[in-house]
Amino acid sequence: MKRVYWLILCVALLNIILSCALYGKHQALDPNAAKMCFGSTQCDLVLKSSYATVWGVPQALIGVVAFTALALVAWLCIVFDRAERVLLLFLLGGGLYALRMLYLQAFVIGAFCPYCVTIDISTILVCALLLYMNKRRNGHVFAHKARSV
């Protein structure tokens, strides 16, 4: 399972970087922001949509915070062999949220931001991997692991 936790940590770090880049583009802090999405106007459509913010907070900033928390929880699982259920709950929530964001891009906004799609798909994949590994190891998703004293 440690390999899975390392993979989750790496994906969380990648998603932090991508979320920071999207936040910079959203805030127009980056002078090269127009070039960021490979010259595609798709990113601009997604980032200028009403779904780019939640209660006035940019989704990208929420992503930075959420993926930082995910990275910390994955690190706790690697180093201390703790917080496995918290990691699973984080990824379940993140995976469902990522599915929602992909749905919005495909059927509501009608545009795909390459960075957003990368973040969403990687989150869904590590969520599915963790669910599969947990079910395979324990027989069901939320099994309580007995610890030896």
CATH number of the domain that residue 83 is part of: 1.20.1440.130
Tell whether the model's pLDDT for residue 95 goes beyond 60: yes
Q: pLDDT grade, residue 69 (50/70/90)?
A: very high
Average pLDDT in the 66-89 region? Answer: 92
CA gap 42, 121 in Å, rounded? 17
Residue 74, H or E segment = helix 59-80
Q: pLDDT grade, residue 81 (50/70/90)?
A: confident
Domain count of the fold of the chain:
1
Q: Does residue 149 lie within any of the structural domains? A: no
Q: Does residue 143 lie within any of the structural domains? A: no
Q: Does residue 75 lie within any of the structural domains? A: yes
**Residue 34 carries which side chain, given as an amino acid letter?**
A
The boundaries of the domain holding residue 68 are: 2-138
Q: Does residue 27 lie within any of the structural domains? A: yes
pTM: 0.83
Q: Does residue 106 lie within any of the structural domains? A: yes
Tell whether the model's pLDDT for residue 59 goes beyond 80: yes
Q: Which residue has the tokens 């007995």?
A: 146
How many residues are there in the chain?
149
